[in-house]
Structure 1
């Protein structure tokens, strides 16, 4: 009898401790969940009910002299004649860190190879890399001059680096965005389209060129495509890389914008963004959000393209390659993806009625999953 009572008490103690542990975990998770849910509810309410982005634009407007401090940096490396008087279908800027020479070389050898694009696709695409000045670390024994000399030698070899003398850091990404639009305005304003991309993005250039040629033949204007974020709230957690304090942006929602990893605008939109940047406070360091603010000020709205990748890599499959435009997170595998995605057999295997039916079934399996971060499920039916 005594042993039975001890056993019961022990079980009750274990149940009590388990219950306390579960409740503790739930309370911690609920606090985070509650904060996320509340911030999104506020954000969507602000976007769809209040929708006072006009007030935001007005409040961020500053005198031109003040706005000039965000663009008034000297060029360290420049190629003002890169576009010349050529018929440029696309000016493509890749945002790159000075240290990422391997990534730049991989892009030059694959999807960003201008010679391949001209000879194989029959169009002129100009690919440039946007850089800031080198930030040296406290334990870095080599001098900034030596680092810069490496970049100069790289640029002498390839002629595709555009660098200004602001420090190349995450918090200066908006300055790098402004660099790109200002460079296009002054050196390549006749390009029909402009694209910006991270240096870990894979671009299926044949598919992109075909798509842009079609858009160009239709004479599109106010054109801005990518992975669209609608009603996104500012992140207020100080632990987040994307933390934005109330002092910098006090409102509950951002204007609609496309993910900064890659997006395309038409030449007229690029010109509008340039002019918007001349009078807006660019201290907000989330560059894709600042792009959304500029576009909203000029009355331009983004359009979602299902084959612009979200945060993750696109599935490795020929049915995906057939329509993909971009995929995110490619560094070591970029050569393999380029070879597989541009193989002529891809188009053959995915064409015809049977090929299309097969690919629809495959894409449904690959894309129609909860929390997919690449392409949405609807991409399977296009």
Structure 2
């Protein structure tokens, strides 16, 4: 009896410890898990139960002449022949930049956005264009004379031939105008590019990984392709102190259609054309550009697809095992040269290949990505992929 009693106590102790461990993990992750579950419930409820967002489509639909006013801006800098003569453009990469961000653009041209490197090393054609508006203090005088930052932009463009600029004020509340510029420029001047990517100028793109992935998707002939960090069931922010504040009169519903984080996402050629067509009859006054992208896509019956190695608002951990799968990482300015050198180092493939390398990297990524409250970069499930 004494032995059996000890065994029972030992079994109960193990059960108690296991229960405590499970409860501890749930308490640590509860905020994220709860938010994730609620977001998915709202997403699926609106998608399948509450009229499939058709009320949003109807509300945002306006006459073409009225919609045209949102994109009726003059080009100050343009390169209509950027894709001319190129029959095999794999990717048109449109980088959202602000006029004063000269160093960011220079860094991108020297690293992941270097067209010559991509062609010679990766063997594909990628066209890189920076899209921007006007600095606010120069907008009023631009038609009379040029000066200041605008003169520097003209000089920069003469050297590089990759700036596309219209005469709207470059500000957070005009990001949707920049979105319209991107898709309309692509439709007019580079319609044969097989994929289109839009990105911020403070993200890092692992171009070798992205090219390899898109090349594979292209061989499969994918359509309705839209990948990135997906936001499902996101609600409008009603706090007036937030820069993401959206008033009820602009968007009165409880949740947005699914969309991808605007920091960086990729669409196939057919989706890019659908977004352009949708924008011709939709009210673009909603200044959250990635949400407006979701509204355009929903109107055309396109849904975003999650790719776990596309970052949201967060910065990916610095590690060889992360670089092996990385697509994008957000929040890189001063470190972009060092990150490019480290991420494209041949040592990455040597360390991460083979059975031991894969097991090692799985353990590393579980440690790096599955930490409490580490949610804005890659999700925990990326460690197992």
- C-alpha offsets along residues 42-66 of structure 1, whole Å, 9 cap, x if unaligned? 9555456425411110111000000
CA contact (8 A) 2:230 2:304 kept: yes
SS for the counterpart of 2:290 is: helix
**How big is the shift at 1:146?**
2.5
Structure 2 counterpart of 1:381: 384
**How big is the shift at 1:106?**
0.5
How far apart in 2 are the matches of 1:367 and 1:208? 21
Residue of structure 2 aligned with 1:176, choices 172, 175, 178: 178
How far apart in 2 are the matches of 1:125 and 1:351? 28
Structure 2 counterpart of 1:285: 287
Counting matched residue pairs gives 342
Residue of structure 1 aligned with 2:331, choices 308, 329, 332: 329
Residue of structure 2 aligned with 1:303, choices 302, 305, 327: 305
- Structure 1 length as normaliser, TM-score? 0.87
Residue 277 of structure 2 is aligned to residue 271 of structure 1:
no
**How big is the shift at 1:199?**
0.4
How far apart in 2 are the matches of 1:59 and 1:289? 15
Structure 1 counterpart of 2:142: none
Residue 208 of structure 2 is aligned to residue 212 of structure 1:
no
- C-alpha offsets along residues 132-175 of structure 1, whole Å, 9 cap, x if unaligned? 012128xxxxx962221110000000000000010100000000
How far apart in 2 are the matches of 1:227 and 1:79? 30
SS for the counterpart of 1:145 is: coil
Structure 1 counterpart of 2:7: none
Structure 2 counterpart of 1:69: 69
**How big is the shift at 1:370?**
2.2
Structure 1 counterpart of 2:370: 368
CA contact (8 A) 1:42 1:252 kept: no
- Unaligned regions of 5+ residues in structure 2, if any? 1-34, 139-144
CA RMSD of aligned residues (A): 1.8
Structure 2 counterpart of 1:98: 99
CA contact (8 A) 2:275 2:297 kept: yes
SS for the counterpart of 2:197 is: strand
CA contact (8 A) 1:43 1:233 kept: no
Residue of structure 2 aligned with 1:227, choices 206, 226, 229: 229
- C-alpha offsets along residues 238-277 of structure 1, whole Å, 9 cap, x if unaligned? 0111000001111111000000000000000000000000
- Structure 2 length as normaliser, TM-score? 0.86
Structure 1 counterpart of 2:126: 125
How far apart in 2 are the matches of 1:107 and 1:135? 24
**How big is the shift at 1:41?**
9.9
How far apart in 1 are the matches of 2:330 and 2:295? 24
SS for the counterpart of 1:91 is: strand
SS for the counterpart of 2:136 is: coil
Residue 56 of structure 2 is aligned to residue 53 of structure 1:
no
**How big is the shift at 1:371?**
2.2
- C-alpha offsets along residues 325-373 of structure 1, whole Å, 9 cap, x if unaligned? 0000000000000000000110111000000000000000000122221
Structure 2 counterpart of 1:146: 148
How far apart in 2 are the matches of 1:50 and 1:146? 52
Residue 89 of structure 2 is aligned to residue 113 of structure 1:
no
How far apart in 2 are the matches of 1:95 and 1:41? 29
CA contact (8 A) 2:187 2:276 kept: yes
CA contact (8 A) 2:39 2:232 kept: no
- C-alpha offsets along residues 57-76 of structure 1, whole Å, 9 cap, x if unaligned? 01110000000001111100
CA contact (8 A) 1:47 1:253 kept: no
CA contact (8 A) 1:104 1:199 kept: yes
SS for the counterpart of 1:55 is: helix
